[in-house]
């Protein structure tokens, strides 16, 4: 763990720097508003070394917002992601949404820190796939496809003992509660949780949280599955009572939009995610 350093620039999205003997890599990079703090933290760790890779777990704004700023600082660094992530970041509407959500997040956390950026720099440079291994020199990153949150979600296994699970498995709040995040497929999210569980990593670095303590690691995957189950059952129960999607969304927000969620996620992002999960559950139930 001494070669995996938390360089997160601010609230809302984590970033971890991996130091290999030959290469360096960043796992996600957080939001746009805190890019300057992120870069400062990275420089402090790297000293005279360069940043070689930026590995993105998926294409959401809170995981990739700082990419343009990083590319401006380290122009030779490569952004690594899936083919689908590359396609998403080529779409003007997606870039527009990323910018909108980034600006909303800045208003919550620190509007004075946001600096404009070039959309052309928000892109995937190299495609990585399930099973690929990135050798940093005495440190390796294995790419694990874990769909469910998005179609481009990836987890990263470091030296076979430390896992960065994608948000498909859920994410741990600062309160310790795990929230589900199966935006594109509930069934694939469950498969992704089981896949990560079978890897049996010694250390888990949960999205939006960081290193999970030892006691929580033992029950982590079961709690991820429980969060999915509770959300799915809640949605199906209301649907069986005749609630339409918008009515379910209203009730979902009342129950699951707790104080901690309000502190950690902008309202638009929460509603977008909740609406997607509702649609996903109802679609898969019909199928």
Q: Kindly report the pTM of this predicted structure.
A: 0.93
Task: Give me the pLDDT at residue 180, please.
Answer: 95
Is the per-residue pLDDT at 286 higher than 80? Answer: no
Task: Give me the pLDDT at residue 145, please.
Answer: 98
- Give the pLDDT band (50/70/90) at residue 262: confident
Is the per-residue pLDDT at 172 higher than 70? Answer: yes
Could you tell me if residue 90 is inside a domain?
yes
Which DSSP letter does residue 182 get? Answer: -
Could you tell me if residue 270 is inside a domain?
no
Is the per-residue pLDDT at 112 higher than 90? Answer: no
Task: Give me the pLDDT at residue 42, please.
Answer: 98
CB burial string 239-250: b at 16+ within 10 A, e below:
beeebeeeebbe
Q: Which residues contact 105 (CB under 8 A, 6 or more apart)?
A: 12, 31, 32, 33, 61, 62, 65, 266, 269
The tally of domains found in the chain comes to: 1
- Give the pLDDT band (50/70/90) at residue 23: very high
Is the per-residue pLDDT at 270 higher than 90? Answer: no
Percentage of the residues of the chain whose pLDDT score is greater than 90: 81
SS3 172: strand
Distance CA 70, CA 48 (A): 16
Mean pLDDT of the chain: 94
Contact 28, 14 (CB under 8 A): yes
CATH number at residue 120: 3.60.15.10
Percentage of the residues of the chain whose pLDDT score is greater than 70: 99
Q: What is the mean pLDDT of residues 200-223?
A: 94
Distance CA 26, CA 17 (A): 5
Is the per-residue pLDDT at 199 higher than 70? Answer: yes
Digit-coded pLDDT (tens) for 38-53: 999 999 999 999 999 9
Domain containing residue 166: 4-224
Q: Which residues pair with 178 in a beta bridge?
A: 172
Angle made by CA atoms 57, 33, 157, in degrees to the nearest 5:
20
Could you tell me if residue 18 is inside a domain?
yes
Could you tell me if residue 271 is inside a domain?
no
- Give the pLDDT band (50/70/90) at residue 114: confident
Q: What is the mean pLDDT of residues 186-211?
A: 96
- By residue count, the chain amounts to 287
Q: What is the mean pLDDT of residues 112-135?
A: 94
Indicate the pairing of strand 126-127 with strand 78-81. Answer: parallel
Digit-coded pLDDT (tens) for 50-90: 999 999 999 999 999 999 999 999 999 999 999 999 999 99
Rg of the chain over all Cα atoms, to the nearest angstrom? 18
The crossing angle, in degrees rounded to 10, of helices 267-286 and 245-256 is: 130
Residue that is written with structure tokens 């990593």 in the block:
201
Distance CA 253, CA 245 (A): 12
Q: Which residues contact 218 (CB under 8 A, 6 or more apart)?
A: none
- Give the pLDDT band (50/70/90) at residue 287: low
Distance CA 42, CA 23 (A): 14
Number of other residues whose CB lies within 10 A of the CB of residue 112: 7
Contact 67, 13 (CB under 8 A): no
Q: Which residues pair with 54 in a beta bridge?
A: 26, 79
Is the per-residue pLDDT at 153 higher than 90? Answer: yes
Furthest CA-CA distance within the chain: 62
Task: Give me the pLDDT at residue 267, please.
Answer: 81
Contact 220, 170 (CB under 8 A): no
């Amino acid at each position: 763990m001494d070669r995996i350093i938390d360089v997160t620039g601010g609230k809302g999205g984590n970033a971890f720097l991996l130091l290999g003997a030959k290469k360096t890599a960043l796992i996600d990079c957080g939001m746009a508003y805190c890019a300057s703090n992120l870069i400062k933290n990275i420089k402090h760790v790297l000293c005279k070394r360069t940043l070689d890779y930026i590995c993105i777990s998926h294409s959401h704004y809170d995981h990739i917002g700082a990419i343009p700023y990083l590319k401006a600082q380290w122009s030779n660094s490569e952004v690594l992601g899936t083919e689908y992530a590359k396609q998403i970041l080529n779409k003007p509407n997606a870039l527009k949404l990323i910018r909108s959500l980034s600006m909303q997040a800045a208003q919550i956390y620190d509007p004075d820190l946001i600096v404009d950026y070039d959309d052309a720099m928000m892109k995937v440079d190299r495609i990585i796939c399930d099973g690929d291994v990135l050798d940093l020199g005495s440190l390796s990153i294995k790419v694990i496809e874990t769909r469910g949150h998005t179609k481009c979600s990836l987890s990263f296994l470091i030296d076979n003992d430390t896992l960065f699970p994608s948000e498909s498995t859920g994410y741990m709040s600062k309160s310790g509660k795990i929230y589900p995040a199966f935006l594109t497929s509930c069934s694939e999210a469950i498969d992704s949780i089981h896949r990560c569980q079978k890897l049996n990593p010694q250390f888990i670095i949960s999205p939006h949280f960081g290193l999970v303590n030892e006691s929580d690691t033992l029950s982590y995957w079961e709690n991820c599955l429980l969060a999915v189950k509770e959300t799915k059952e809640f949605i199906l129960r209301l649907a069986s009572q005749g609630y339409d999607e918008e009515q379910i969304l209203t009730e979902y927000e009342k129950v699951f939009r707790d104080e901690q969620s309000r502190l950690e996620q902008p309202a638009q992002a929460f509603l977008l995610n909740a609406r997607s999960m509702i649609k996903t559950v109802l679609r898969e139930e019909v199928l």
